[in-house]
Structure 1
Amino acid sequence: MLRDRLFKGYVSSWMPVALFLLLTGMFWIGDRSLYHKLYYIMGAVPTLIVVCLCWRRFSFLREEPLFLLFIVFSFYVMLSLAWSPGAADYSKLKHPLYIGMLIVAVAAVGEHDMRRLVQALGLAGGVAALAALASSVAHVAAGQQARFEGFGALYNPLLTSHVYGFFAALWLGALLSSSRLRPLKLMMLVILVFLLFQTGSRTPFLALGFCFVWLLVLVADRRIVWLATALGIIAAAGLWLFGANLVERGLSYRPFIWVETWRQIMPALWFGHGYDADIDIVLTDVNVLLADPHNLTLAVVYQTGLIGGALWLAIYAYGFFGAWRLRSSGLVLISSTLLVYGFMAGMTEGGSFMSRPKEHWFLVWIPIAIHLAVLRKIKRSRAPGAPISAAA
């Protein structure tokens, strides 16, 4: 049937390419508005069309708690627009649709052929390492002493570190998914970490440190020894070359920002100020006005209250619990490492937890989408009577 051919072409060819373009587009597209359009044209709109025409093919998502938690969280976030101060911006109702199409698309590819999803991630990880290498060479050759800001659609050191840190976490998890050391994967990780040092951002290193602890808990065998040795050498070299950039800024007012955010949360503790509500935090010492709490979880609580915060944390709690149960799978090691990276990076930076495609998607929604697809595939492959899957 035509619908069957349409769906097969979508999951086996179109969407893997679209995912690859989404993951790598920041490096080469050169314009942020074009990056948004790239995702709408290649990912969101085709997915919406295929869902409408072949909706039965996506019915498996009704069985996935992680997807249902996302739906409930999104519905509550959009409902909170009703009590946002001033005139609510209802154009933001499109944001959960963009994110939902990503999750649905990645889950469908994983359900149909996990190898396609793994290939798209691997190729994107290779392109990220090449982009990091070219950027590092250009930055060093130019004799730049300032923090690396980025090329392509990347323009800010911290936001740039989100994207490259995502791929560093990908290769970190991939290293532990193998029973022995893979030099190519290690080389990819080294290149990406070297660029992260040049951004001068501490956030990715904090998050990667937690990723290592997470992998230590999940794996706990001799692989951790050689990984710890390799990471120790990388960290020592990076601190020797770029250490001053990392420590000279202290805590960057984070404790004050979080205390002030919590003070502003209290008047609307349970339901929040609304998804469209702005926050103003004044750093009087440096005469700076901040528009976000530099903590994604606090941003969720500020706008949606403790109820929204509980739903947000429930998404991660289920993701981590599912990873623990299926920790013997190499794919789960990778996807859960991405989840840990995004969650911990979001604890010290950010406020835009639900938005159009941008750097924060590499912290939140792309890891969640990948992790959902992997958990679903591994659970199915281990169900009684299921055929043995090489991906498990």
Structure 2
Amino acid sequence: MENCIVRHWLALGYLVLLTGLFWVANGSLFTKFYYGLIAAPALFALILAPHNLRLILREPIVLVFLAFSAWLLLSLSWTQADDGLGGLAKRPLYVFMMFAACALIACKDEQLLLKTLRIGALLAVLAALINLYFHFTTASAGARLIGTGALRNPLLTSHVLGFFCTYWIAAWLTRSERHDWLPILLALPLLVALLATGSRTPLLALTLTSLWMLLITSRRALYLVAALMVAAAISMVFMPELLLQRGLSFRPQLWSEAIRQASEHLWIGHGFDSKFVFNIKGLGWTLSDPHNVELAVLLELGLVGLSLWLLMYGLILLRCLQQRHQGKFQLASALVVYGLSAGLSEGSNFFSRPNENWFLIWIPISLVAALSISQRLQSKP
């Protein structure tokens, strides 16, 4: 029974999580699919085979995540959140089920997890082509690509497209494909769709990811860095508005104000899901988002929460460096670094229900944790 749940139910759920935003009608339905195809079956599988839970709880990444979650739950006692505390308290459980689902699949059949991810990336290429067709045939001049299905704005759409673009670029860098040219060919529609969203964050994230890949892959990453520099130069000549029109978008002023508000409750934060208002001189309207994931953690959970957050990422990157000779860890680390880099200038909803933000944070992190757990299991005598 447990084998059937993991190999069929959870694998299908993982594929739906990866691709559902392209074809599900709305975000609410996407979340329900997650509950029905990942959270519930993962919980059922753990009940049927409790030894798997012990295996998951031995992973340092998971332990730090649980410590972070415990601090988050404690912060609900002083939060200024508008939403019900009961719903907020369930958020860590939803994310933990993601860890559990990926770990269960990887421990049962690691290749099944990686193949499902690859199928999801292939379907994302098809979705990018469809989105580009609709965008260029129906959108008005100057409009930014939003996307089909549950995708609702260009910035969030870029999170999903950037994740899959990074996947194929990393697949090329790690030489994990039989046909060497295939990953680059598949990355191109995703890159064009990324540019069509008008978001500059993915370009910064891809650049930082390529620098990371220089550390853990062959010299091939140098070609990627050079290509990005050429692409930036071409953009400066033919599409200068993409890089220059919006300047820094008031980010320095916004971050300065966010740090000022964080200093009011520096150690413990304002509490999970607290609401903020940032008045930026010269902007003309107020903002509620610090546009930086780490600043959002600092604002809501203080230095204690931020320390645990950074420790979690530190363990992830350390584990990837330790296993850098393996292509699967190289690829997974690229997804983590892409999400971490994109979060430096966008995003703040670090513990949301399943949505586009998960492609920056929890999907990459749970993949590395699952591979790490599987690796420890395989190395046992």
Q: TM-score range by the shorter chain?
A: over 0.9
> Does the aligned pair in 2 maintain the 1:197–1:242 contact within 8 Å?
no
1:173-188 to 2 correspondences below 5 Å: 173-178=170-175, 182-188=180-186
Given the superposition, is the C-alpha separation of residues 241 and 30 from structure 1 closer, same or farther in structure 2, using an over 3 Å criterion? farther
For residue 96 of structure 1, the aligned residue among 92, 96, 107 is 92
Rounded Cα–Cα distance in structure 1 between residues aligned with 2:191 and 2:259: 33
For residue 107 of structure 1, the aligned residue among 103, 115, 120 is 103
For residue 312 of structure 1, the aligned residue among 309, 332, 357 is 309
Rounded Cα–Cα distance in structure 1 between residues aligned with 2:68 and 2:35: 22
When the two structures are superposed, what TM-score results if normalisation uses the length of structure 1?
Answer: 0.91
How many positions carry a matched residue from both structures? 378
For residue 255 of structure 1, the aligned residue among 252, 258, 282 is 252
Q: Which residue of 2 aligns with 1:198?
A: 196
Q: Which residue of 1 aligns with 2:70?
A: 75
Rounded Cα–Cα distance in structure 1 between residues aligned with 2:121 and 2:235: 21
Residue type of the alignment partner of 1:125: A
Deviations 1:62-107 (A, max 9, x none): 2100010111101110110001137773120111111110111101
1:281 to 2:271 alignment = no
1:354 to 2:354 alignment = no
Rounded Cα–Cα distance in structure 2 between residues aligned with 1:68 and 1:176: 31
> Does the aligned pair in 2 maintain the 1:51–1:58 contact within 8 Å?
yes
For residue 366 of structure 1, the aligned residue among 343, 363, 366 is 363
For residue 62 of structure 1, the aligned residue among 57, 65, 71 is 57
Residue type of the alignment partner of 1:345: A
Task: Note the C-alpha offset of 1:343.
Answer: 0.8
Task: Note the C-alpha offset of 1:227.
Answer: 3.7
Residue type of the alignment partner of 1:136: L
Q: Which residue of 2 aligns with 1:151?
A: 148
Residue type of the alignment partner of 1:79: L
Rounded Cα–Cα distance in structure 2 between residues aligned with 1:265 and 1:222: 42
Rounded Cα–Cα distance in structure 1 between residues aligned with 2:108 and 2:235: 41
> Does the aligned pair in 2 maintain the 1:203–1:348 contact within 8 Å?
yes
Deviations 1:17-42 (A, max 9, x none): 10000110000012111111111111
For residue 220 of structure 2, the aligned residue among 223, 227, 234 is 223
Q: Which residue of 2 aligns with 1:47?
A: 42
* Structure 1 unaligned regions, length at least 5: 1-5, 386-392
Q: Which residue of 2 aligns with 1:19?
A: 14
Deviations 1:127-167 (A, max 9, x none): 11111111112212336321112221112111000011011
Rounded Cα–Cα distance in structure 1 between residues aligned with 2:317 and 2:119: 26
1:210 to 2:208 alignment = yes
Rounded Cα–Cα distance in structure 2 between residues aligned with 1:57 and 1:27: 32
> Does the aligned pair in 2 maintain the 1:99–1:365 contact within 8 Å?
yes
Rounded Cα–Cα distance in structure 2 between residues aligned with 1:238 and 1:12: 45
Q: Which residue of 1 aligns with 2:169?
A: 172
Q: Which residue of 2 aligns with 1:267?
A: 264
Rounded Cα–Cα distance in structure 1 between residues aligned with 2:227 and 2:273: 45
Q: Which residue of 2 aligns with 1:390?
A: none
* Structure 2 unaligned regions, length at least 5: none
Rounded Cα–Cα distance in structure 1 between residues aligned with 2:88 and 2:131: 34
Q: CA RMSD in A?
A: 1.9
1:9 to 2:7 alignment = no
When the two structures are superposed, what TM-score results if normalisation uses the length of structure 2?
Answer: 0.94
Rounded Cα–Cα distance in structure 2 between residues aligned with 1:340 and 1:160: 18
Q: Which residue of 2 aligns with 1:126?
A: 122
Q: Percent identity?
A: 37
Rounded Cα–Cα distance in structure 1 between residues aligned with 2:174 and 2:317: 17
Residue type of the alignment partner of 2:168: W
